[in-house]
């Protein structure tokens, strides 16, 4: 009788123990290895404020390709290894594609942005429109516009080579403005480009180290504009006003043109026309369209401009690479301008484009992902809500995958016989369902600019009054969202007799 009673007591106790065990299994399983944190505070002191991609890469040398951190109660995983990023963010994208709540960017007026939207219906609606407008088949139809703008870039470099930094900025801006709003930008001081630049600069300024106070103490954003503690409310209001103007001015321009029957075909006008034919809740659909085209306008130029400037720097610093590419262009294209039809026949030029993105990625630290369910990688456990941070810089500096990573070597993307491999630098565009939806347009724009510049110009170091080459440090400035090379001097020389006439006649 006592034995039976014991069993009757043990059964419910066993069930309770199993429930407790299952509930706390996640707590027992650990995050990936990382530095030991403080009680309660965790790894607060291990979160770098300046150039975090470098500090996280250094931690990776100690702890490996994936690092686990804890900040208060928040789990954070930094991924330094590309293969691990593919496992977590590509193969498990159905549960690792959320974004963390970012009240700071919301307060600055960017709550509409596809880049930071939480995983949900609003994000899905924007992504659907973006993919419609920038899928590979659609980008193929944009080739005449991209070609026209690439020819204008060559003319700008010919007439004002000293302004090459500005030309590299205006080239993607001219493409995006034309595709998104049907707007042809002015040669200089274009108002719409100015609005996008200023709105972006405000974000860079307000995300500098020190304003993390707002994240820790959100109530500070409600202080009056004159407060002496942060000055943040006044700056945030300026940011919101600038973002609003950046969104409203081109949108109203397109609506007015459509009313007058003069609107050129563009992403905005095409989506609006399609929406009106489908019927339904027009106000909701128009709001989604406006949000989508606004972020295409704001985010579609900076990274492309940064990559183009990096290409120019690499050609000056590695003249042997430039010469080899030009030999291939001369053999395949001759003394004409390259077209998209030449791409498959110019594998070395394509490899230069890939290596440019790897050598110095425009975005060094990828936007954070958040897991929507418990997940695991090997023996490590990532609880629901874990922030996953892809360190693009560390991936690009993996010496096992890219020997001597500081060297610019297009051969990394070529077979011994000189053909293109399957290897690419697409990881610089992000991962999983959060990969940049405009990457196909960026790819086309960059490839044509790179091949066209190499075909027409020799890019050389500038010389001082004594005929000595002016050193180029090759430094990159800023610790914001996009990394840009510090301005330097170089010379653009037409490569052959008749190049100038060819450029002028092609426009």
Facing residues of 67 across strands? Answer: 78
- d(C-alpha 184, C-alpha 309), whole Å: 22
Decide if 100 is inside a domain.
Answer: no
Contacts of 501 (CB under 8 A, 6+ apart): none
Rounded CA separation 87/79 (Å): 11
| 230-254 mean pLDDT | 87
> φ, ψ for residue 266 (rounded to 5)?
-160, 170
Query: Which pLDDT score, from 0 to 100, does residue 451 have?
Result: 99
436 among annotated binding-site residues? yes
Distance CA 169, CA 305 (A): 5
pLDDT in tens, 56-91: 999 999 999 999 999 888 999 999 999 999 999 999
Distances (CA, A) of 193 to 104, 188, 190, 358, 370: 24, 9, 5, 27, 33
Asked if pLDDT for residue 426 goes beyond 50, the answer is: yes
Inter-residue contact 480 to 202 (CB < 8 Å):
no
CA distance 168 to 151: 13
Task: Identify the pLDDT of residue 352.
Answer: 99
Q: How far is CA 455 from CA 144, 243, 325, 346, 503, in A?
A: 19, 39, 9, 12, 11
**Is the dihedral angle over the CA atoms 212, 216, 221, 223 positive or is it negative?**
negative
**Which of the pair, 22 or 458, is modelled with greater confidence?**
458
CA 493 to chain centre: 31
Q: Are 311 and 304 in contact (CB under 8 A)?
A: no
* 3-state DSSP assignment of residue 11: helix
Strands 375-377 and 380-382: antiparallel
* Beta-ladder partners of 314: none
371-390 residue pLDDT tens: 999 999 999 999 999 999 99
Give the pLDDT band of residue 281 (cuts 50, 70, 90): low
Lowest-confidence segment of 166-175, 231-240, 294-303, 403-412 by average pLDDT: 231-240
253 domain residue, yes or no: yes
What does the angle CA 363 – CA 93 – CA 433 come to, to the nearest 5 degrees? 55
Work out the pLDDT band at 339, boundaries 50, 70, 90.
very high
Query: Higher confidence at residue 478 or residue 120?
Result: 120
Question: What is the domain extent for residue 430?
Answer: 121-506
Who's near 403: CB < 8 A, 6+ residues apart? none
414: β partners: 420
Spell out the alpha helix ranges (H) of 64-163. Answer: 82-85, 103-105, 121-134, 136-141, 143-159
Q: Residue 102 in contact with residue 111, Cβ under 8 Å?
A: no
Query: At which residue do the structure tokens 């406006």 appear?
Result: 290
Find the helix or strand (DSSP H, E) in which 461 lies.
strand 457-461
Residue 255 lies inside a defined structural domain of this protein: yes
Question: What is the distance between the terminal CA atoms of the chain, rounded to a whole angstrom?
Answer: 100
Give the mean pLDDT of 355-383.
Answer: 95
Res 108 pLDDT > 70: yes
Q: Is residue 7 part of a domain?
A: no
Alpha carbon 324 to chain centroid, angstroms: 29
Q: Give kind and range of the element (H or E) at residue 2.
A: helix 2-23
Q: Which position has the higher pLDDT, 27 or 334?
A: 334
Ramachandran bin of 47, using left for φ above 0, alpha for ψ from -120 to 50, beta for the remaining angles: beta
* CA 7, chain centre distance (Å): 62
Determine, yes or no, domain membership for 39: no
Confidence check: pLDDT of 414 > 90: yes
* DSSP structural state of residue 471: P
- pLDDT, residue 221, reads 45
User: Cβ(444)–Cβ(139) under 8 Å?
Assistant: yes
CATH number, domain at 355?
Answer: 1.10.630.10
Q: What is the DSSP letter of 3?
A: H
Residue pair 419/347 in contact (Cβ under 8 Å)? The answer is yes
Structural domain contains residue 439:
yes
Q: Which helix (H) or strand (E) holds 245?
A: helix 232-260
Task: Quote the pLDDT of residue 160.
Answer: 96
- Give DSSP secondary structure letters for 332-393: HT-SS---GGGGGG-HHHHHHHHHHHHHS-S-SSPPPEE-SS-EEETTEEE-TT-EEEE-HH
Burial class (CB in 10 A: 0-12, 13-18, 19+), 453: buried
| 433 located within any domain | yes
When divided into structural domains, the chain yields a total of: 1
Please check whether residue 239 lies inside any domain of the structure: yes
């Amino acid at each position: 009788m006592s034995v039976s009673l014991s069993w009757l007591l043990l059964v419910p106790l066993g069930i309770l123990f199993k429930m407790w065990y299952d509930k706390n299994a996640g707590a027992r399983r650990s995050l990936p290895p990382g530095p030991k944190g403080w009680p309660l505070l965790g790894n607060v002191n291990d979160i770098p404020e300046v150039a975090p991609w470098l500090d996280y890469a250094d931690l990776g040398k100690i702890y490996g390709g994936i690092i686990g951190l804890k900040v208060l109660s928040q789990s954070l995983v930094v991924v330094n290894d590309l293969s691990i990023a593919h496992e977590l963010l590509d193969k498990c994208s159905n549960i690792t594609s959320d974004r963390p709540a970012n009240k700071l960017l919301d307060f600055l007026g960017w709550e509409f942005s596809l880049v930071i939207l939480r995983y949900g219906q609003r994000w899905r609606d924007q992504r659907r429109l973006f993919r419609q407008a920038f899928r590979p088949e659609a980008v193929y139809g944009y080739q005449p516009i991209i070609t026209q703008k690439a020819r204008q870039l060559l003319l700008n470099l010919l007439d004002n080579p000293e302004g090459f930094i500005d030309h590299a900025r205006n080239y993607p801006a001219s493409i995006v403005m034309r595709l998104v709003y049907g707007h042809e930008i002015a040669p200089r001081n274009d108002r719409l480009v100015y609005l996008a630049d200023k709105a972006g600069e405000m974000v860079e300024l307000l995300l500098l180290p020190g304003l993390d106070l707002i994240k820790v103490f959100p109530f500070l954003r409600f202080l009056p504009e004159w407060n002496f503690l942060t000055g943040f409310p006044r700056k945030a209001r300026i940011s919101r006003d600038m973002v609003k103007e950046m969104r409203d001015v081109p949108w109203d321009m397109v609506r007015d043109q459509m009313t007058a029957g003069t609107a050129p075909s563009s992403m905005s006008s095409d989506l609006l026309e399609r929406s009106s034919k489908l019927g339904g809740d027009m106000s909701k659909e128009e709001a989604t369209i406006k949000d989508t085209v606004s972020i295409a306008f704001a985010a579609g130029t900076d990274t492309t401009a940064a990559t183009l400037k990096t290409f120019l720097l690499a050609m000056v610093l590695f003249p042997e690479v430039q010469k080899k590419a030009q030999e291939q262009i001369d053999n395949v294209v001759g003394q004409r301008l390259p077209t998209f039809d030449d791409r498959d026949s110019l594998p070395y030029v394509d490899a230069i484009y890939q290596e440019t993105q790897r050598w110095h990625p425009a975005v060094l630290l990828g936007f954070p992902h958040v897991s929507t369910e418990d997940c695991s990688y090997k023996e490590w456990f990532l609880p629901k809500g874990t922030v996953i941070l892809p360190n693009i810089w560390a991936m690009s500096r993996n010496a096992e995958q890219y020997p001597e990573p500081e060297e610019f070597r297009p051969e990394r993307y070529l077979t011994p016989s000189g053909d293109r491999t399957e290897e690419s630098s697409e990881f610089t565009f992000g991962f999983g369902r959060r990969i940049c939806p405009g990457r196909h347009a960026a790819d086309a724009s960059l490839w044509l600019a790179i091949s066209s510049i190499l075909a027409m110009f020799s890019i050389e170091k500038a010389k001082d009054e004594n005929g000595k080459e002016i050193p180029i440090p090759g430094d990159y400035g800023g610790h914001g969202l996009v990394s840009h090379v510090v301005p330097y001097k170089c010379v653009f020389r037409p490569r052959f007799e008749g190049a100038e006439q060819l450029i002028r006649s092609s426009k």
